[in-house]
Amino acid sequence: MAALICGIANACAAKGPPATGGSPPETGQPLNQPVPVTLTCAEFKGLLKSGDKQAGGLAILWLDGYYAGRSGLGELPAGWVRTVSQGLGGICAIGVNEGRTVLDVIGQIHREYGSHN
């Protein structure tokens, strides 16, 4: 399942430390930055413009999963990753929404397009 989501979103998180504990192996790539639940649309747009091509996709996946878990959603409709990504991009592109949190926008997308209406 994780490989499928990573393939769809073209983004995967860095692997964690080995089961024996200790530090993660050196890969030459920086570890992913934390995604705050208070991330705003303006900050999200900054992630999309950064040199890290995975950061925006990881933020979407993490925050959408966080929202789904907090809302008790056990499943999402087919094609949901595309729906939430396009909806978030469209809503956050509107200047008046720069101060809105991405989590709030994701909630709106779930209410309007999710299968639990």
Q: Note the pLDDT tens digit of each residue in 5-23.
A: 444 444 444 444 445 555 5
Domain segments of the chain as ranges: 2-11+38-113
Cα gap 53→51, rounded to integer Å: 6
* 74: number of Cβ within 10 Å: 7
What SS3 class is residue 71?
helix
What is d(CA 77, CA 116) in angstroms, rounded to the nearest whole number? 9
| Cβ contacts of 68 within 8 Å, gap of 6 or more | 76, 110
Give 22-77 pLDDT, tens digit per residue.
555 565 556 667 899 999 999 999 998 988 878 999 999 999 999 999 999 988 88
DSSP state of 74: -
Model confidence at 1, pLDDT cuts 50, 70, 90, reads very low
Give pLDDT, residue 3. Answer: 43
